[in-house]
Structure 1
Amino acid sequence: MTDRQNRPGQKTGSGAPMTAQEAAMDRRERLRRLAMETVDLSKDPYLLRNHLGTYECKLCLTLHTNEGSYLAHTQGKKHQVNLARRAAKDAMVGVPAPIPGEGDGPYGAQGLHKKSVAPRIGRPGYRVTKQRDPMTYQKSLLFEVDYPEIDTKVTTTPLYRIMSCYEQRVEEPNRDYQYLLIAAEPYETISFKIPNLDIDRNPEKLYQRWDPITKHYMLQLCFNERGEKQLPALAGKAGHFDPIGVRG
């Protein structure tokens, strides 16, 4: 019979040593309990409860059976890395990151800015033009918006943001499309449904211009077509080799 009380590395009566799997499970449970005590899920901009009663992380596109599972996910490496990537992306386009707890703020469904008490004066006038580069045949969209009554005390220029189909709650998510949001106080935020293609971040292709005199805003988005990246060349036919035993 195995002597379990006098095994090395443990005290008498403490039971068998904890395995690595059990230690990982214990750590996740402790993180979950800690998060449940300190995190208010009602202020999490990335938590979505679907019609099946399960929970989705709109940032990582993961599915969770309960709040505890979602909270454990938020403490993990994948969620933290995606948070950092999102913050870096928003900083690159000059848009502040979502503020937890702001809900449907004036800059879209994720509350990109603190909600203002100023009344809305309706939607601005806009025009969208489809374009195509005659040399490269690259497709692009040119957005022109007029903000004659923009409140420069709140924002000096209009702001824009690209939002995935999973972040909005107006339509059923469709992975073929993404959304462009343009906002300026005290106007309502306007949204455009655009193809879910990779946006060319080249400064010569992605540019915006704001005229403070005419209060005219322009934004151009150029798209990279799917499959545009060239695949590596296939290996040629294998040359003739002598059998291994024959080689000198």
Structure 2
Amino acid sequence: MDYSERVNSKKGAGGIAGAEEANVHTKRRIQDLLATQVLDLEHDPYVFRNHLGLLECKLCLTTHVSESSYISHLSGRKHGLNLERRRLLDEKYNQNKEINAKVANLVSINNTEKRNWKKIGKPEFNLTKIRDPDTLQVGLLLQIKYPNITIEEPLFRIMSYYELSTKNQNIIVSYLDRESDSTTTTNEDDKLDSNSYQYLVISGEPYDNICLAIPSDKEIDKPIEITEMSKSYWWFWDNDSKEFFLQFLYKS
């Protein structure tokens, strides 16, 4: 475009183009773009035609009245920057997806082999009420025999009523109802409540689990850390005699 002999132009420099010249230059640029690019609405993931028949760019949230306008938008700086941002986001998403997939493969329920064993009944156990001679704290001493145990050491855990499975919850409710019916009181308020107990569950494969109901109003005197033992809260597995001992005292 010739900018010589224009108003406000300096010698040796281009002058200011008017509106007509700018429009002519824009039309020529659009014609060149239409000649070099073909708009394919089916394969372009960011363009669609709305209900008014206008073209919209989903990436930049812009509206265009014609295909030439949209093609001109594709070669613009705004669309290019948004494409680069989208590329970086896709790369970050794919990297996080690969990391999550690797972690899921390492720790997954599907990768964990299900353990199946034939139960051989309940083990022989003995429950004794004890009292500490120094602190006068009362507690329980549990002794269980596992002569045919198949794991290294029995496992135990103190659980609330809501941590139990639905099947075990029903068993607990049925047991407490039988205990309530066996008492001489017939008052509904005196019936045993399953929520007022915490449950000590001991497991030793292939034997059935043992569950003891402990009143929740009595707090067990045990360390803060679950794996720690103390004088009032300890357990011991005798591998020679295949006996498991568990003792705990209540806080006075």
TM-score by length of 1: 0.42
Higher helix share: 2
* Bigger Cα Rg: 2
